[in-house]
Amino acid sequence: MVLIPEPRSIKTDRMRTFDFSKIRLGTSPLNETAQNDFLQFAGRPQADAPNILFQTDRALAPEAYRLNICEKITVVSRDEAGAFYALQTLKQILFQYGDQLPYCEIEDAPAFAYRGMMLDVGRYFYTVEDVKAVLDRMALHKLNLLHLHLTEDQGWRIQIDRYPMLTAIGARRSYTNFNRTPHKGYYTKAQIREIVDYAHAKQIKVMPEFDMPGHCRAAIAAYPALSCFDRELPVATHWGVKHDVLCAGKEETYRFIFDVLDEMLEMFADGYFHIGGDEVPKHRWRLCPHCQQKMRENGLKDEDELQEYFMNRVYKYLTEHGAKHVFMWNYDKLQPRILDKNIAFSLCGGEEKARDFTDTSAAAYYFDLPYGRIPLPAVCDHQIPAQAMGAEGQLWSEYLPNLQKCDIMAFPRTGALAESAWSGGCSWAGFQKKLQFYYTFLEANGISYTFGSRLDPKGLRKALDILWFEKRQLTWEGLHNLIDDRYVERLAKKRKAK
């Protein structure tokens, strides 16, 4: 019996089988959506009496379950999530054995409470149906948190009533890198609620991300006064780090942020929030009289402490208004001095001992990167630190413009992530034995994937894989930033002289 992720304990008796040619669910804790989803997958006529029974055992851990297949199928769980995950396991058993299921006893529980996937809808907009498809894929793998990256330099993707220009201007760009095709899209509040409700039916929480103070060119294009020098700039069209960031010195910046957070917190009530914090060039802040004044008023030693002050204010507001878990990236390998210790890190590299963190390793879980950079064996053999809250796969969308491309890059690597996060460990030696089953299961669920030698390219294939990825990243952004920095320096001098 092959199962992904691997349960804690499996006992099978292949000499005896249970006839599952018909189906009827007993009274269960499952929501109607989850029940219908399973019945549709099973695709069997209805039995005269229930042959899948559900029981409650409060002694079990959250999300844990026992699955017993003998004369009937019995699911025992503490909560709805455990029952839901038992049916995800049962789906794989049905797929392998058809109507004649071997007798078995499975005991299972997750090793880590946080098992996530980040979807970047800022660079490329994914429709509501696309996001639902991602949620379907997560549910099959017992992943339980969707991290939705909603704001970027290249696009603002969520309706905010108090600031309509965020979507009227910020949700569209004139072209993308060297592709001259315009791109646009955003989610209405009703669509966000639809996504959140669908996620909850799949036992998945949703964590929104408002990336700040960097990666905010789309917001600045809509409201130039949010930047240090009030310049009218377009929504970014090229990838790369932009030097125009939110002004950390103006109080109107914080009023804007808090207003936006108020509306986002109404839409996302799971208690998780991500505030970005990565890739924040300090060039504008060093020249900005508002930022320098803010530093003097608060005894901040430098612009790095100004960023920590900024993040602390945002964190404080969020927790005062209902957020329970607030995250930020440690992409820049921050060495915090005054950053609140209760802000958790999305840890992309290095070690963390002073605060809560999730493992978002750029060496294992950046699934947008080519397999030449992150081969499947590296994902399998990566060990999630025992002290981590859990792990999260990353689907940055600069080069994932649609769901099919997203699938090809994410699978089968997502299976290895799920096995590490749910089962507590994965190995290439063990996982590769499951690949043939996994491919057929993915195909049956309409999921594209990478296979064969492309999973671990060697020699020339690896070099070409990496070269093709690096070639696509070539832009004039570095030169543009250099020229623009000189312009802003002259502008700052002129304003100071007045």
Task: Spell 407-419 as b/e; 16+ CB within 10 A means b.
Answer: bbbbbbbbbbbbb
- Strand, helix or coil at 26? coil
Residue 413 contacts by C-beta under 8 Å, 6 or more apart in sequence?
A: 367, 374, 376, 379, 393
pLDDT digits (tens, 9 = 90+) for 53-73: 999 999 999 999 999 999 999
pLDDT digits (tens, 9 = 90+) for 360-399: 999 999 999 999 999 999 999 999 999 999 999 999 999 9
Neighbours of 280 (CB within 10 A): 27
Residue 158 has pLDDT above 80, yes or no: yes
What φ, ψ does residue 15 adopt, rounded to 5°?
-75, -20
Q: How far apart are CA 412 and CA 82, in angstroms?
A: 24
Q: How far apart are CA 138 and CA 187, in angstroms?
A: 21
Neighbours of 51 (CB within 10 A): 19
Cβ atoms of residues 245 and 280 within 8 Å = yes
- The average pLDDT across 249-273 equals 98
Q: Which helix (H) or strand (E) holds 166?
A: helix 165-168
- The average pLDDT across 264-284 equals 97
User: What is the average pLDDT score of the chain?
Assistant: 94
Calculate the alpha carbon distances from 100 to 95, 103, 269 in Å.
11, 9, 43
Catalytic residue numbers read 279
Q: How far apart are CA 337 and CA 339, in angstroms?
A: 6
Q: Supply the pLDDT for residue 478.
A: 76
CA 299 from centroid of its chain's CA atoms: 36
- Strand, helix or coil at 117? strand
Is CATH 3.30.70.20 correct for 9-108?
A: no
- Strand, helix or coil at 149? strand
- CA-wise closest residue to 377 among 420, 428, 419, 414: 428
Neighbours of 102 (CB within 10 A): 16
Q: How far apart are CA 245 and CA 231, in angstroms?
A: 11
Cβ atoms of residues 280 and 213 within 8 Å = yes
What φ, ψ does residue 426 adopt, rounded to 5°?
-150, 150
Cβ atoms of residues 145 and 115 within 8 Å = yes
Residue 466 has pLDDT above 80, yes or no: no
Q: Supply the pLDDT for residue 333.
A: 59
- CA-wise closest residue to 243 among 286, 277, 283, 303: 283
For the chain, what are the domain ranges? 9-108, 114-473
Sheet holding 52-56, edge to edge: 9-19, 100-108, 65-69, 73-77, 52-56
- CA-wise closest residue to 395 among 146, 151, 172: 146
* 3-class SS letters over 385-419: CCCCCEEEEEECCCCCCCHHHHHHHHCCHHHHHHH
The number of C-alpha atoms within 13 Å of 138 and in the hemisphere containing its C-beta is 30
Q: Quick check: do 9-108 and 114-473 share a fold?
A: no
Cβ atoms of residues 32 and 52 within 8 Å = no
- CA-wise closest residue to 213 among 118, 285, 317: 285
Binned at pLDDT 50, 70 and 90, residue 470 comes out as: low
pLDDT digits (tens, 9 = 90+) for 295-315: 999 999 999 999 999 999 999
Least confident of 45-59, 120-134, 433-447: 45-59
Neighbours of 57 (CB within 10 A): 12
- CA-wise closest residue to 148 among 315, 258, 272, 330: 272
Cβ atoms of residues 64 and 71 within 8 Å = no
- The average pLDDT across 37-42 equals 90
Pairing of strands 65-69, 100-108: antiparallel
Here the contacts of 288-297 (C-beta below 8 Å, separation 24 or greater) are: 288/228, 288/229, 288/247, 288/249, 288/492, 289/249, 289/495, 289/496, 290/228, 290/247, 290/249, 290/250, 291/228, 291/247, 291/248, 291/249, 292/249, 293/249, 294/248, 294/249, 295/249
**β-bridge partners, 109:** none
Question: What dotted CATH number matches 114-473?
Answer: 3.20.20.80
- The average pLDDT across 199-226 equals 98
Share of the chain above pLDDT 90, in %: 79
- How many residues are present in the chain? 498
- CA-wise closest residue to 361 among 319, 391, 335, 320: 391
Q: Supply the pLDDT for residue 452.
A: 92
- The average pLDDT across 23-36 equals 89
- 340 vs 49, which has greater pLDDT? 340
